[in-house]
Structure 1
Amino acid sequence: MNAVAMLQKIYQQNSTGVWRRSEESNFDYTDGKEVEERLLRLLKSAKDLSLASDELQRMMIDWPSEYHLTPLRANLLSSFDLKRFPKILEIGSGCGAITRQLGEKCPDSEILSLDGSRRRAEITRARCRELKNVEVCCDSFANFQSQVYFDLITMIGVLEYSPSFFDSVNPVVEAMEHARNMLSEDGVMVIAIENQLGLKYFNGCSEDHTGKIFWGVNDRYLPDTIRTFGKAELQSLIKEAGFERVEFLYPFPDYKLPQLLLREEALNDSVFRAGIIAGQYPSRDYICNGRKLFDESNAWKVLERNGMLADLSNSFLVFAFNGKGRVEDLTGQWLAKTFTSRRKKKYHIETTFLRSTRGLVAQKCPSYKVAGESSDEHPVKHHIDDSPYVWGTLYSERLGEAISVEKPIDGFINYLTPWFDYLSKQTQKSYISKGEEQKVVPKILLDCTPANLIWNEQHELCLIDQEWECIQPLEIGFLLFRGIYRELQSHIEILEQSNLFNGRTCFDVVEETFSHFDMQFDDETFLRYVTQEINFQMFVGCWSETRDEIQHIMESFFRKRREQRRSSGDVLQCDLDGVLLELDGAGKHIEQLYSDLAQKTECINHYSKSWSWRITAPLRFGGRLVRRIVSPCAK
């Protein structure tokens, strides 16, 4: 029996193409009516619904639309051969991001997508409207009974909601058992879920579901509500549900917007150094946007050295096998994958880190096959090349130490100096631009910024990720501007904390840096470089903003005056010092009260033992006796 035949026995297909019971579903998770209705309108009007569609990327204007439309969502499962599964069940389709991927990448498979929300099911159907192999059903997972056995079942961001729709002592295990009962003999279940003990939560980020800091790490989850788990507990629950084999992978910064995927083998490879790579993908607080307590990029390296990276990964991607399958059967042998996806679809890149006869290598390939013609009218050319893995230290790792000096601006310039010297050695010739002589470097060095440099073991700078080549001559001044801009943008928080700016602007810092290197930088030069950078960004990226809006954002970044920003740790320390000071004052006040009480007690004891106190005792007794007699009469 196929999925459609089964659905026809229980459900009716409405005008939107969604299969529904006659009664409403009782589980209606939502991002809000206004948000979802806007999303439905956008998808209905869209002409290109394909994965990583440039059109859909331009529709991202806030966090809900980013989450549902970003091409990063597809990175979670793109590395695995899912076409081998004839029948696939998606539990919890949301707004169809993963549904679209399954339907598009597995054209010969039957895809049944299930969601308890009527509106979300309609959004999913609209997003997959031309995919004939996708069926969408609106029903609660707890109520859903299948007469079809599925080869693959996905629960992406769903398992944590089990207590909301399974009424039992152990709803999480019951949910997985319910899914397992629908699996074929050698079927696979894929789970993506946040880590209750994710590093971001120790770093002051709010819990992704409740919006409250330290909610998960303090185990504040209430009965019958959402809850997540640490790795050991989750693995135990999956085993309890009856799965024979379980394998974990680790998406960074998390499973919602994955840009890096690590396998267990990567964590045990002394050459690969997973902590350094994980540190390049900082976590996000999706609800509160609060300040973090510490620098995660450094923390991941420490966690790796101590074998704790897996346990504090922000999310898990779990493959649970009904039989004796392995992840390797679905994806081949590799250590890690990185994804460059915040750009136009034709420029998306997937990089695979693996061991070969040449040692550890990085293999690059396009994420999607998109027809595109090069033209001299374009500002850049795009290159995709494999490269050996470079063992060493990221250039940017030295920034924190460099600016921890009395004059941070001097430290910042010293930090940039080896990079500038590297560029200067590449200078080829000069050319005349607007009557002035400009030094140029090879056009292939457009991405030669500190972010793409590594110090190797011989203390030499090595350039990685050379994707872009200029069409026009590449001024060393523009490249210097690009690199400084990226450093300022990427590290603005720690630069403000170091008091690099001290009331000045980013423009001032760039101007002083250029001056140190005997380079000209004024308002005219600034606007010229901004225009060049925007030309590049508009060509490569997908923007919801107009060109003028992007220029305004960029100029505002450079012109804003910046004071020293205290880190969250400093703020907490200051607050703690204040509380301790108050406690110290309260303690001294209590000591004074005890001292006064002791003095008064001593006086009372002294008077009670005196002759005058003893002699007048009968008089005091007589007075009390008279009051007792008089009081009833007065009433």
Structure 2
Amino acid sequence: MNDLSPEIRNLYLKYNGDIKKLLAENPNPDYLYALSDIRENLLEWYAFEPSASLLQAGSDYGALTGLYSRRVSHVTVLDLNQNNLSFNRLRHQDRNNIRYVNGDFDSIHQETFDYVVMTGSLKEPVKEQIEKAKNLLKPGGKLIISVCNRLGLKYQAGAVPDKIRLSRTELMELLCGNEQAEGEVSFYYPMPDYKLPVTLYSDAYLPAKGDLTHAILAYDYPKYLRFDLGKMFDEVCEGKQFETFANSFLTIWSCHEEN
């Protein structure tokens, strides 16, 4: 998505921070993604440690920053885009536990965190990004990543995927190594995707045939789909392959205790 920070900032000021009114009177998928409180569904359920520190890699218009600041002791927001950081600061000016850093992972020196979170902010080279994120974790810390699935049915139906897209196997190998011995990872499956999640499935609770027959259409689906998406999800669920063809992933990685 293009940098809409100045545009969104002007609208935010025009509506005195009333995001619901702003979105109601300015229907735009990009504004919805940047501002909607539905974004918080991705991690609203997660039990963050209240005394923890968290590094948010990618400001993302502050969509999840408020959630993090309410759940942990201190949040550091890291982004190369100064405009995005500026809007995030405006949006959360009433929060006193957020620090904003204009830079990338190399800008963080002699500091580690309990959580490093990357929601849709992975960049090339992906392997290097993930390793740098891991190196910024405290012992026992957790790396949280969300990314779209290159095999996701919504993209096979014609939706435009993110620049960075990974299959479940690719993501598992990047996080845990080819031998899957380096740490452990939990997979979750936001529907319709990680950007505006309504329902969250996990390996312990996967959808069955019929659960997604009338799958909620995402805001970025094309006008004409290449196939009946609900029917295809039924086939995938009945064939026990939902994990492979889910639209996106939310992963939580942590080191093995013995490491």
TM norm structure 2? 0.89
1:208 aligns with 2:186: no
Deviations 1:505-525 (A, max 9, x none): xxxxxxxxxxxxxxxxxxxxx
Aligned residue for 1:78? 44
| Equivalent residues of 1:183, 1:322 under 8 A apart | no
In the alignment, which residue of structure 1 is the partner of 2:229?
296
1:282 aligns with 2:216: yes
- The structure whose residues are more often helix, as a share, is 1
Residue of structure 2 in register with 1:227 after alignment: 164
1:44-66 CA distances to partner (integer Å, 9 max, x unpaired)? 455557xxx64454365211111
- Which of 143, 149, 157 aligns to 1:189? It is 143
Whether 2:248 is the aligned partner of 1:315: answer yes
Aligned partner of 2:2 in structure 1 is: 31
Offset at 1:322? 2.5
What does 1:461-500 align with in structure 2 at a 5 Å threshold?
none
Paired letter, 1:184: K
In structure 2, the partner of 1:252 is 191
SS at 2:61 equivalent: coil
Return closer, same or farther for 1:279/1:191 CA change in 2, 3 Å cut-off: farther
* Counterpart AA for 2:205: A
1:120 lines up with 2:84 in the alignment: yes
Structure with higher RCO (Cα < 8 A, 6+ apart): 2
Describe the shift of the 1:187–1:85 C-alpha distance in structure 2 as closer, same or farther (beyond 3 A).
Answer: farther
CA displacement at 1:301 relative to structure 2: 1.6
Partner of 2:152: 198
Structure-1 separation of matches of 2:59 and 2:213: 30
- Asked whether the equivalents of residues 59 and 78 of structure 2 are also in contact (C-alpha less than 8 Å), the reply is yes
For 2:26 and 2:256, locate their aligned partners in 1 and report how far apart those are by CA, in whole Å.
41
Instruction: State the alpha-carbon separation in 1 of the partners of residues 42 and 213 from structure 2.
Output: 18
Q: Is the 8 A contact 1:252 1:278 kept in 2?
A: no
Counterpart contact for 1:85–1:151, Cα < 8 Å: no
Contact 1:59 1:65 in 2 (8 A): no
1:1-400 matches, within 5 Å, as 31-32=2-3, 35-45=4-14, 47=16, 54-55=20-21, 57-58=23-24, 60-84=26-50, 86-106=52-72, 109-141=73-105, 143-159=106-122, 161=123, 163=124, 171-205=125-159, 207-209=160-162, 226-240=163-177, 243-267=182-206, 273-284=207-218, 286=220, 289-324=222-257
Distance 1:105 1:42, change over 3 A: farther
**Displacement, 1:323?**
3.9
- Confirm or deny: 8 A CA contact 1:200 1:283 kept in the other structure: no
Aligned to 1:20: none
User: Unaligned stretches of 5+ in structure 2?
Assistant: none
Q: Is the 8 A contact 1:192 1:318 kept in 2?
A: yes
The alpha-carbon deviation at position 145 of structure 1 amounts to 2.6
Residues in 2 aligned to 1:203 and 1:54: alpha-carbon distance in whole angstroms: 30
Task: Classify 1:31/1:306 alpha carbon distance in 2 versus 1 (closer, same or farther; 3 Å).
Answer: same
Letter in 2 for 1:100: G
1:243 touches 1:321 (CA, 8 Å); kept in 2?
A: no
What code does the residue aligned with 1:121 have? L
Q: Percent identity?
A: 25
CA distance in 1, matches of 2:45, 2:11: 29
Q: 1:91, 1:113 within 8 Å by CA — same for their partners in 2?
A: yes
| Secondary structure, aligned partner of 1:192 | strand
SS at match of 1:58: helix
CA RMSD of aligned residues (A): 2.4
* Distance change >3 Å, CA 179–CA 70, structure 1 → 2: same
**CA drift at 1:285:** 6.5
Shift of 1:118: 1.1
TM (norm. structure 1) is 0.38
* Structure 2 CA distance for aligned equivalents of residues 280 and 313 of structure 1: 15
Query: Per the alignment, do residues 297 and 323 of structure 1 end up closer, same or farther by CA in structure 2, a change over 3 Å counting?
Result: same
- Offset, 1:37: 1.5
- How far apart are the structure 1 equivalents of 2:213 and 2:49? 33
User: Runs in 1 of length 4+ with deviation above 6 angstroms?
Assistant: none
Match of 1:274, SS? Answer: coil
Report the residue type matching 2:31 in the other structure: S
Instruction: Look up the SS of the partner of 1:248 in the other structure.
Output: strand
Q: 1:103 to 1:279 in 2, by over 3 A?
A: farther
Deviation readout 1:341-381 (Å, 9 max, x if unpaired): xxxxxxxxxxxxxxxxxxxxxxxxxxxxxxxxxxxxxxxxx
